[in-house]
């Protein structure tokens, strides 16, 4: 079943509070702990993904996902599992925290991998940066897939804070299980 909604998209407004309590707003966050506060602009219709659209988008982006994975020696099934958990293959997905696209890139992560604010919306750039981030997390956590996925969801500092264990955040714990379940399903189905 498809549902048509009106989504407001054009300008993202970020808030930063410095050490002295001064509040700053910008549409181009720099380094620091910026938080997405609002998205403003002209409303445009957005179609929510149905299961059929998700399957169509999986097929549409499959070669791109495979190329991004193989360029970093990642299993394509793993990248598919992350994309499925993050966005259900919707390149227009936006999270409450301001992550966007197939791999749900945050502004800081995108910037870290040379992707502009607008580039986060480009499926190919989004996939390449997200795959590179996942690859770096795997290396950082000595190829422990559970920890790398937890870090992808909650941030590497959260994993380190809890002694290189999955943080006790229910969302992160569910996320790791979900991605692993999707990954295992795809590996078994290919066997």
By the 10 Å C-beta count (0-12 exposed, 13-18 middle, 19+ buried), 162 is classed as: middle
Whether 156 is a known active-site residue: answer no
> CA 38, CA 166: separation in Å to the nearest integer?
30
Instruction: Verify that 56 and 40 share a domain, yes or no.
Output: no
Specify whether 40 is located in the same domain as 56.
no
Please tell me whether residues 119 and 182 are part of one structural domain.
Answer: yes
Based on the domain organization, do 162 and 71 belong to the same domain? yes
Both structure tokens of 146:
């559970």
Please tell me the distance from the alpha carbon of residue 139 to that of residue 67, in angstroms, as a whole number: 20
User: Residue 41: its pLDDT value, please?
Assistant: 47
Q: Residues 23, 106: one domain?
A: no
User: Based on the structure, what is the number of domains in the chain?
Assistant: 2
Question: In the chain, how many H helices and how many E strands?
Answer: 7, 5
In this structure, the number of other CB atoms found within 10 A of the CB of residue 190 comes to 9
Question: What percent of the chain has pLDDT above 90?
Answer: 65
The pLDDT value recorded for residue 100 is 96
Q: Which residue has the tokens 């300008």?
A: 11
Q: Which two tokens stand for residue 133?
A: 């981030």
Residues 32 and 87 in one domain: no
* Domain-terminating residue out of 16, 32, 47: 47
CA atoms within 13 A on the CB side of 7: 14
The mean pLDDT values, 10 residues at a time, for the chain of 191 residues are: 39 56 56 51 41 83 97 97 96 92 96 95 97 98 98 97 97 97 84 57
Give pTM, 2 decimals: 0.73
Cβ neighbours of 191 (radius 10 Å): 5
Q: Cα-flanking dihedrals φ and ψ of residue 70, to 5°? A: -65, -30
CA 69 to chain CA centroid, Å, is 15
Q: Which residue's entry shows tokens 């502009």? A: 116
Whether residue 88 is found in the same domain as residue 172: yes
In which domain, by residue range, is 31 found?
4-47
Q: Give me the catalytic one of 12, 77, 86, 156.
A: 86
pLDDT of residue 53: 77
């Amino acid at each position: 079943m498809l549902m048509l909604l009106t989504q407001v998209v054009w300008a993202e407004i970020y808030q930063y509070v410095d050490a002295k309590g001064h509040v700053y707003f910008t549409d181009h966050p720099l380094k620091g702990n910026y938080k997405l506060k609002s998205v403003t602009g002209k409303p445009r219709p957005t179609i929510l993904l149905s299961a059929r659209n998700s399957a169509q988008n999986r097929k549409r982006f499959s070669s791109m996902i495979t190329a991004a994975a193989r360029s970093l020696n990642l299993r394509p099934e793993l990248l598919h599992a992350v994309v499925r958990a993050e966005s259900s293959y919707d390149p227009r997905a936006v999270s409450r925290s301001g992550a966007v696209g197939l791999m749900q890139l945050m502004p800081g992560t995108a910037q870290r991998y040379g992707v502009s604010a607008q580039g986060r919306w480009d499926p190919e750039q989004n996939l390449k940066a997200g795959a590179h981030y996942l690859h770096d997390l795997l290396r950082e956590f000595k190829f422990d897939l559970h920890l790398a996925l937890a870090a992808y969801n909650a941030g590497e500092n959260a994993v380190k804070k809890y002694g290189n264990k999955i943080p006790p955040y229910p969302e992160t714990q569910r996320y790791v299980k979900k991605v692993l379940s999707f990954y295992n399903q795809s590996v078994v189905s290919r066997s």
